[in-house]
Structure 1
Amino acid sequence: MTNVALASYSTLSIYSAMAVLTLAMLAFAIDLARSAPRAAAAPLAAEPVPAAGASRPPAPASFDRPDPPLDRPDPPVAARPAAGVGMALSWLAGALVLLGVVLRGLSVMRVPWGNMYEFATTGCAAVLAAFLVWSLRRDLRWLGLFIIGPVLLTLGLAVAVFYTEAAQLLPSLKSFWLVIHVIFAIVAVALFTVAFSVTIVQLVKSHRETHPPATATFMEGLPSAAALDRTAYGLHIVAFPLWTFTLIAGAIWAEQAWGAYWQWDPKEVWTFVIWIVYAAYLHARATAGWSTRSVNYLALAGYGCILINYLVVNIYFVGMHSYSGM
């Protein structure tokens, strides 16, 4: 039986989270708008003046600069009221999304991952959790707009397009492998999503460092392209093994449910395609001859495959994984 009251409270919590996320996005946008004057007023680092007659050594490429020592303390965090408001609202929104996911599960007494609506809301909770927990260790206020925007868009799609009434699982989904397989997929996609946002910012930042603009904008207040590239790479390094386990766990579950590890189902194929593209990205990172920009385009292609797998395969392809509920 479905507890209609809990299901309605879950939907109300998701709508409330969307309202709070909208305010958070506006706060982060205001902060970035104010960062342009700060970037323009920031003094340039003084360079040593060579002795008379000595030639100035060439500046190292931005991607070849060594990382700062691990024991060096972070610089003081500047006062940015709008960003502080955005972070506070993000924590509130994250709690509301998580509450909506929990209430959805309690309304039917199962894990809330049985259709596209439930996967989307749980995925948004995972993305917000990854961003917020990470922000406890690093100043990520600059990243807020680029995380909150996609999350808000996904929640909008979930309630407007993907919404499905709370109901019991299909018989084929009633397995402990649902928890194992899907939770790893959700965490991996959450990390890939954060990495996607960072990679987009890195590509823009790299272009602006190569072709400096006439006037400073908020982009000049963001971390360097080299730092952004290292961050995105680290996120991919963590997400890829999780996606690998998702693929393996899905094959084991398929053998138990359908009698074969692999049946060339559209969902299976695209899950493997995603793995191949991200494996190519990581391989290219370790191979000489690839430029940073070309490698990051591979990462964007991998996330494009994730979107196809979720938005196209789940809706328009008929197969053994037709559980969208739409």
Structure 2
Amino acid sequence: MSALSDQLVTYAILAYLVAMISHAVEYALGNVRAVPATAAVPARELVGAGVGGPGGIVEEAAAGPGVTRPSRSASRAALAGRIAVGLTALAAALHLGALVTRGIAAERMPWGNMYEFVLTVTWIGSAAWLTVLAKRPQLRRLGLFLTLVMVLLLAFAELKLYVQVTPLMPALQSYWFVIHVSTIVFASGIFLLGVVPATAYLMRSGWEQGRRSFPYTLARRLPTAAGLERLTFALHAFAFPIFTFAVIAGAIWAEAAWGRAWGWDPKETWAFISWVVYAGYLHARATPSIKRNVATWISIIGFATMLMNLFGVNFFFTGLHSYAGVN
């Protein structure tokens, strides 16, 4: 089961990679606008068509006046987008299979070390993305950025964080393990997804304000800035209470395991920093005098603190939470 899990992770990375390429194809072809079905063209371009018009001009009237038909490039872009979504769903299924088989091999929930934590967080982000996409298919082009994040994080986990399956260490053998870690994993996965529209919003809003330098030009094919900003807020507003509960559950578990609810352990400290930053984002978002792009930058800083808590603390600090398997 452990070997099967490793193989499924590799296949999932490949599927995410091909999905990213398909999204890139959609992105590249998606700037071709629909052609009006009644567009007038010079008669000499349609010699032999058998249709004439006044003044030497003929019209394609198959679709009727005021109707547009997609160009061939636009049709290909839409096909590439649908293929990308299908591949993302396949990758998520392979991803889930890797988690399930890893858990079966370990005879526990697959959250016992940093490698397994990253696998679970990224799957939550992918599953949440597919759920959002089912309700709002017009956001499909964000899949390019989401799949890029998946490929990078999973490849890093495979190359730098991988550890063999081991039993759960005694300090983690508690029912609080499931309560605390499941909620922190779920909230982290939603925050991971939330940073995608947040970044896209900053790019798109810059484009809408007339900035034409890279990376703003990359955003001209994204959904509107207002829609991206609302999605960013909705995801963070959903994840923040869950994250709050996870931090509280961790303090309760610490009281039972170590005899104190809070000891300024590096992971506890950075979890608190993340909580403060995300609370600051929600407060800024609800304050009319604060610009939306400023609030969005705070949410991105919040995700940076989450990455610091996930990677930086485990690599550079030692504490009671040193269960990463990399120290």
Q: TM-score scaled to structure 2, two decimals?
A: 0.84
Secondary structure of the residue aligned to 1:165 is: coil
Alignment partner, residue 257 of structure 1: 257
Q: What is the root-mean-square deviation in Å for CA atoms of aligned residues?
A: 1.9
> Aligned-pair distance for 1:321?
0.2
List per-residue Cα deviations over 1:39-81 (Å, max 9, x = no partner): 8x79xxxxxxxxxxxxxxxxxxxxxxxxxxxxxxxxxx98510
Alignment partner, residue 89 of structure 1: 87
Indicate conservation of the 8 Å contact 1:25/1:149, yes or no. Answer: yes
Matched residues in 2 for 1:38 and 1:14: separation? 38
Matched residues in 2 for 1:38 and 1:169: separation? 56
Indicate conservation of the 8 Å contact 2:9/2:98, yes or no. Answer: yes
Alignment partner, residue 311 of structure 2: 311
Matched residues in 2 for 1:131 and 1:16: separation? 19
Give unpaired runs (5+ residues) of structure 1. Answer: 1-5, 43-76
Indicate conservation of the 8 Å contact 1:36/1:218, yes or no. Answer: no
Matched residues in 2 for 1:292 and 1:153: separation? 28
List per-residue Cα deviations over 1:198-248 (Å, max 9, x = no partner): 01100010011011649x966333211111111101111001101101100
Q: Which amino acid aligns with 2:249?
A: A
Alignment partner, residue 181 of structure 1: 180
Bigger mean CA deviation after superposition, 218-227 or 117-126: 218-227
Q: Indicate whether 1:230 and 2:230 are aligned.
A: yes
Alignment partner, residue 160 of structure 2: 161
Computing the radius of gyration over CA atoms, which structure comes out larger, 1 or 2? 2
Alignment partner, residue 100 of structure 2: 102
Bigger mean CA deviation after superposition, 204-213 or 91-100: 204-213
Going from structure 1 to structure 2, the CA distance change for 1:314 and 1:212 (only over 3 Å counts) comes to closer
Matched residues in 2 for 1:298 and 1:196: separation? 11
Matched residues in 1 for 2:32 and 2:181: separation? 45
Alignment partner, residue 22 of structure 2: 27
Alignment partner, residue 114 of structure 1: 112
Secondary structure of the residue aligned to 1:132 is: helix
The equivalent position to 2:12 in structure 1, one of 14, 17, 38, is 17
Alignment partner, residue 324 of structure 1: 324
The sequence identity of aligned pairs, in percent, is: 39
Alignment partner, residue 198 of structure 1: 197
Indicate conservation of the 8 Å contact 2:184/2:242, yes or no. Answer: yes
Q: Indicate whether 1:294 and 2:289 are aligned.
A: no
Going from structure 1 to structure 2, the CA distance change for 1:217 and 1:308 (only over 3 Å counts) comes to closer
> Aligned-pair distance for 1:37?
2.2
> Aligned-pair distance for 1:131?
0.7
Q: Which amino acid aligns with 1:211?
A: G
Matched residues in 1 for 2:89 and 2:303: separation? 26
Matched residues in 1 for 2:211 and 2:7: separation? 46
Alignment partner, residue 133 of structure 2: 135
Matched residues in 2 for 1:301 and 1:38: separation? 36
Indicate conservation of the 8 Å contact 2:207/2:217, yes or no. Answer: no
Matched residues in 2 for 1:258 and 1:228: separation? 43
Indicate conservation of the 8 Å contact 1:36/1:217, yes or no. Answer: no
Indicate conservation of the 8 Å contact 1:38/1:221, yes or no. Answer: no
List per-residue Cα deviations over 1:266-304 (Å, max 9, x = no partner): 100100100000111111112232111111111111011
Give unpaired runs (5+ residues) of structure 2. Answer: 37-69
Report runs of 4+ in structure 1 exceeding 6 Å deviation. none
Indicate conservation of the 8 Å contact 1:196/1:300, yes or no. Answer: yes
Secondary structure of the residue aligned to 1:203 is: helix
Secondary structure of the residue aligned to 2:150 is: helix
Q: Which amino acid aligns with 1:244?
A: T
> Aligned-pair distance for 1:96?
0.4
List per-residue Cα deviations over 1:9-31 (Å, max 9, x = no partner): 00000001111111111000000
Q: TM-score scaled to structure 1, two decimals?
A: 0.84
Q: Which amino acid aligns with 1:14?
A: V
Higher RCO (C-alpha under 8 Å, 6+ residues apart)? 1
